[in-house]
Chain A
Amino acid sequence: MSTETTTHTEEHGMSNAGYVRIALILAAITALEVSTYYVDFGRLFMPALMIMMVVKFIMVVSYFMHLKFDNKLFSWIFYAGLILAIGVYCVALATFHFFS
């Protein structure tokens, strides 16, 4: 059993304790995000919120979805879709003067 566990940990890169650690970090960031609603972050508000969102997103994708440990092809496919989506929709919104 123990040998099997180690091989699986190698294969998938994380132990259960590791997953719990990631979840705790995610929970902490979420708490920080919610706090922006109550505490005035001033000019840092938007960038801070965006960075926290991106960090959470990437952590779930990399660790819970194993992209960090898996074949690069999966990352390519997923991030291709993601970046394409961000690209085309941001350009489309820009033509509505959304960002100005």
Chain B
Amino acid sequence: MSADHAVASHDTHTTSTGLSNVKLGMWLFLGSECLLFGGLISTYMLYRGRVGTGPTPMQVFDIPFTSVSSFVLLMSSLTMVLGVSAAHKGDDRNTYLWVAVTALLGATFVGGQVYEFTAFYNEGMGFTTSLFTSSFYVLTGFHGVHVTVGIIMLMSTLGIMKRSKVPGSKSETIEMLGLYWHFVDIVWIIIFTLIYLIPV
């Protein structure tokens, strides 16, 4: 019995699967997010041709512009992963650098989205103009909110790190932010192809 209890002595850092709680929780959350975006994408796909008297997707979409902002978001995934890699090596300087660059690229993407929405609105594509416009704005808006939340989290983490207040493992915090950020990126990979590149 005593041997068993020696094994059983409480250690908060070991888990039954040997995996980190936070990481497991994060992947569960991302699995769940698949169904959220799946629902929004399906709604858009169902309604994309229902333009009523409003503009059609092909009339308003500016493919060169969106291609560039898609490229920016894709590259932010690279800078993010470099940040995670630096964090794992305990390289604070490069962690700051890459995380800051990631946030900046993310902000560029969101800025582009704001510009795009404004341009669309000026071309007569309001939120309530047609089923196409409503479902388009809801889908891309949700994605934009996810990116914005990501930027806020990246910037906050930088601030908290500067004051060295990150509770728990710093590199794991950055890694979790990375998972979230890449997820937002892969959602955009799908949105860009299905929504922008396939003509209605």
Contacts and interface: CB of A to CB of B under 8 A. Distances in A.
B39 A89 contact: yes
A88 B27 CA distance: 20
B70 A30 contact: yes
B179 A71 contact: no
A81 B189 CA distance: 17
Contacts of B7: none
Counting contact residues on chain B (CB < 8 A from A), the size range is 35 or more
B198 A57 contact: no
Interface in B25-54: 27-28, 30-35, 37-39, 41-42, 45-46
Q: Is the interface of A mostly helix, strand, loop or mixed?
A: helix
Is the interface on chain A under 10, 10 to 19, 20 to 34, or 35 or more residues?
Answer: 35 or more
B162 interface: no
Contacts of B170: none
B146 interface: no
A82 B141 CA distance: 21
B74 A27 contact: yes
A16 to B, nearest CB: 6
A93 interface: yes
B85 interface: yes
B50 to A, nearest CB: 12
A84 B30 CA distance: 13
B78 interface: yes
Contact of A12 (B18, B75, B85, B198): B85
Contacts of A8: 85, 88-89
B190 A53 contact: yes
B122 interface: no
B193 A5 contact: no
B163 to A, nearest CB: 26
Given A53-B193, A60-B186, A92 B42 contact: yes
B17 interface: yes
B22 interface: no
27 contacts: A4-B89, A4-B90, A5-B89, A12-B88, A14-B85, A16-B85, A22-B78, A23-B75, A23-B77, A27-B71, A34-B67, A52-B193, A57-B189, A60-B185, A61-B186, A64-B81, A73-B17, A74-B24, A77-B27, A77-B31, A81-B31, A81-B33, A81-B35, A82-B31, A85-B39, A89-B41, A89-B42
